[in-house]
Amino acid sequence: MEDSRIVELYQKRDRSAIRESQERYGAYLKAIAVNILGSAQDAEECINDALMRAWESIPPQRPAKLGAFLGRIIRNLAIDRYRQERALKKGGGQTELCLEELEGCIGEGSSLEDRLVLREQLNSFLDALEEKNRELFMLRYWYMMPVKEIAKSCGQSEGAVKMSLKRTRDKLKNYLEKEGGTL
Amino acid sequence: MKNSELLLEVLGETDERFVPELWQQRRRVRPLLKPVLGGLFAAAAIALIAGTQIYHAGREKPLGTVSGGQEKIRCTQELDTELDFGTMGFEGLMAYDISELDVPVPDVSGLSELPVYRSLAESGADMSGITVFLSEEDMKKAAQRAADLLGETITDTDTTAAEGGICRIDCLCSSKTVISVEGSGKTTVFFQGKELPEGYEFTYSGTDHEQAEKVLEYLCGEYGELTGLDDPVWYSYADRTFGGEEDRTYQAYEHSADPAEELLSFSLGGAEFAPDDEGRLMVIRYNDPLQSLEYIGHCSLISPEQAAQSLKAGEHQSSVPADFLKTGQIREEDIARTDMVYKISAGGQCLPYYRFYIELDADQFSMAQGLKNYGIFYVPAVEQ
């Protein structure tokens, strides 16, 4: 079923919207959640939560790209779950590794409380990045995809991917330093 | 929260256009996109065109008007024929036999040339296919027109902005019907389940062809003025889900004595009707594609045989992964059907393409026994 028809089902409060969303995007959503959590079982639970969240959000929202909309929801839910599980010292998937890599990029010495400002800075930064580097960066830190998998899907060596990510993180660090003392 | 955690979290809130569309790569086994068999859109303006293939409509034109009167010219410019399949899945249909997908395609077999156009609608900045063409005022007029024809009163209007202007307005009516007009002019009416009179069977599965024709005759008559279809050709077909269940589509386009006009309406015009799970009318979608098309000129056509040669030589465009073909390449016996449609290229030009239905390797899919999967492949029909 096409996106537009699924969204129409949500608008009509027809619960088959959830089934159709799962049919169409279940594998995609699971991949994101597994990357973040490292557990297929936890990922399945996240999918259910994400679809219920979508049910609660549409309407009033009417996403133009249902895949991106659902992907964002499950990413947020999986990160929340990761935090809970970290407190219980369980699981972790790629999240811990990504955080370590980003720590090197951003440091911990200052406050980053203004989310809106940070989001705009990140949008500007990503906009200015070369497309190929941006894609690698987002595969790693948006999808939290393992480096090995990124390398395979992009037809590059793991070393080349790591090098590209390192350069992009360095650029991000310089950019954030220059843009307003967030470090 | 650590700064790195916040950074990771806020990265998830960045603009969608920066997020690679991985679902396209991961969900390859299901044909998520139906081919536009006859188009989803209406051809309200076609009836207004008087005896010429020359169309022009600018931003300053009120909705539903065209200006003509130009002489037919040869298209001398190089055309951009590249198609953009930038969504998820691949374009295909499932059926037990290709005859299940029969639709009344306009006959253009006697034509040696067809007009080509330039699309004046611009893609929005969010890369979601949203277009900006109509002004906000024109969109509001279109919504008001729809409301008047439906006997509705608009109580609230919401606008959605994209780079370049307002790309959509959503009008809530007193009966909770929603009228959405997009920047391209496409209009969708969402009803709260509108009952059809007794005796009509209007479902995705379980409605046979005869019942579907009856429903369409009623809907085209009831909403003819709204959709702009004065002389509609209605049709319905049912493709299948992986389990073999019917998924019926209800569409119509405008008949014309001019085969080129009719093909344009079939491809990019027309109306679509959709039921809800209780057999009530849920959605009407229609559009006037001509208001955003500008005539470029006429082009000579290649023959279907020439197009098939190109197809078999691998000179085609498709969203179907090559590994779904039976032998890795297209053979004559894989071609289940050929017809012609207008499509808008990635460069914004509207031109005819031969459309081939290719039977794919059934072993690649978990389908009901005997079900066939037909992938769609295009070859530009213009001689360049």
The pLDDT value given to residue B109: 85
Q: Is A136 in the same domain as A77?
A: no
- How many domains, in total, are found in chain A? 2
Q: Which of A42, A60, A87 is the last residue of a domain?
A: A87
Q: Is A59 in the same domain as A107?
A: no
Q: Is A65 in the same domain as A114?
A: no
* Distance from C-alpha of B282 to C-alpha of B226, rounded to nearest angstrom: 15
At A102, which CATH number? 1.20.140.160
Q: Is A11 in the same domain as A47?
A: yes
Q: Which of A16-20, A22-26, A83-87, B14-18 has the lowest mean pLDDT?
A: A83-87
* Domain coverage including residue A170: 95-178
B108: left (phi over 0), alpha (psi -120 to 50) or beta: alpha
Contacts of A106 in chain B (CB under 8 A): 3-4, 7
Q: Is A116 in the same domain as A41?
A: no
* Distance from C-alpha of A113 to C-alpha of A107, rounded to nearest angstrom: 14
The pLDDT value given to residue A102: 86
Give domain status of residue A183, yes or no: no
* Distance from C-alpha of A95 to C-alpha of A98, rounded to nearest angstrom: 5
B61 vs A108: which has the higher pLDDT: A108
**Angle in degrees, CA A114, A119, A120, rounded to 5:** 105
Is A97 at the interface with chain B, CB within 8 A?
Answer: no
B27 vs A48: which has the higher pLDDT: A48
A87 vs B302: which has the higher pLDDT: B302
Contacts of B126 in chain A (CB under 8 A): 64
Taking residues B191-205, report their average pLDDT: 91
At A26, which CATH number? 1.10.1740.10
User: Do the beta carbons of residue B233 and residue B254 sit within 8 Å?
Assistant: yes
* Distance from C-alpha of B1 to C-alpha of B367, rounded to nearest angstrom: 48
Whether this prediction's pTM lies above 0.90 is answered by no
Give domain status of residue A18, yes or no: yes
Residue bearing tokens 């699309």: B119
Helix (H) or strand (E) holding A85: helix A66-87
For the stretch A89-136, pLDDT in tens is: 555 578 888 888 888 677 665 555 577 888 888 999 999 998 888 999
Q: Which two tokens stand for residue B25?
A: 């790569």
Q: Is A76 in the same domain as A142?
A: no
The HSE-up count of residue B59 (CA atoms within 13 Å, CB side) is 12
Give domain status of residue A54, yes or no: yes
Chain A interface test: which of B15, B19, B159 (most A C-beta within 10 Å):
B19
User: Is a pLDDT exceeding 60 seen at residue A157?
Assistant: yes
Taking residues B295-315, report their average pLDDT: 94
Q: Which two tokens stand for residue B186?
A: 């496409």
What is the overall mean pLDDT for chain B?
A: 80
**What is the bridge-based pairing of β-strands B232-240 and B187-194?**
unpaired
Name the most confidently modeled range: A113-122, B17-26, B194-203. Answer: B194-203
Q: What is the DSSP string of B307-345?
A: HHHHHHTT--B-SS-GGGSSSSS--GGGEEEEEEEEEE-
* Residue B253: DSSP 8-state: E
User: Is a pLDDT exceeding 90 seen at residue B99?
Assistant: yes
Q: Which of A33, A64, A87 is the last residue of a domain?
A: A87
Residue bearing tokens 């253009």: B108
User: Do the beta carbons of residue B175 and residue B145 sit within 8 Å?
Assistant: no
For the stretch B201-233, pLDDT in tens is: 999 888 999 999 999 999 999 999 999 998 999
Q: Which two tokens stand for residue B277?
A: 């799970």
How many pairs of residues across A and B have Cβ atoms under 8 Å apart?
Answer: 129
Q: Which of A87, A121, A149 is the last residue of a domain?
A: A87
Give domain status of residue A49, yes or no: yes
Confidence at A178, pLDDT banded by 50, 70, 90: confident
Q: Is A33 in the same domain as A102?
A: no
Count helices and strands in chain B by DSSP H and E runs: 7, 16
Residue bearing tokens 């390192």: A166
**What whole-number percentage of chain B has pLDDT above 90?**
40
For the stretch B238-258, pLDDT in tens is: 998 878 888 899 999 998 888
* Nearest CB partner across the interface for A99, out of B5, B13, B247: B5
* Nearest CB partner across the interface for A107, out of B3, B87, B193: B3
Q: Is A20 in the same domain as A47?
A: yes
CB contacts under 8 A, A 126-145 vs B, are 126-127, 134-135, 138-139, 141-143
Residue bearing tokens 């032998």: B327
Confidence at B9, pLDDT banded by 50, 70, 90: confident
B111 vs A158: which has the higher pLDDT: B111
The pLDDT value given to residue B298: 92
* Distance from C-alpha of B325 to C-alpha of B310, rounded to nearest angstrom: 16
Contacts of B5 in chain A (CB under 8 A): 83, 99
The HSE-up count of residue A33 (CA atoms within 13 Å, CB side) is 26
Q: Which of B48-57, B230-239, B272-281, B350-359 has the lowest mean pLDDT?
A: B48-57
Give domain status of residue A63, yes or no: yes
* Distance from C-alpha of B168 to C-alpha of B143, rounded to nearest angstrom: 11
The residues spanned by each domain of chain B are 35-121+184-380
Q: Which two tokens stand for residue B259?
A: 């085969």
Name the most confidently modeled range: A83-87, B273-277, B340-344. Answer: B340-344
The pLDDT value given to residue A112: 53
Q: Which of B185, B141, B189 is nearest to B291 (CA)?
A: B185
Q: Is A111 in the same domain as A161?
A: yes
Q: Is A83 in the same domain as A34?
A: yes
The pLDDT value given to residue A108: 63
* Distance from C-alpha of B259 to C-alpha of B36, rounded to nearest angstrom: 18
Contact A153 B18 (CB under 8 A): no
Taking residues B110-137, report their average pLDDT: 72
Contacts of A79 in chain B (CB under 8 A): 8-9, 12
Q: Is A130 in the same domain as A165?
A: yes
Q: Which two tokens stand for residue A72?
A: 């964002």
Helix (H) or strand (E) holding B23: helix B23-26
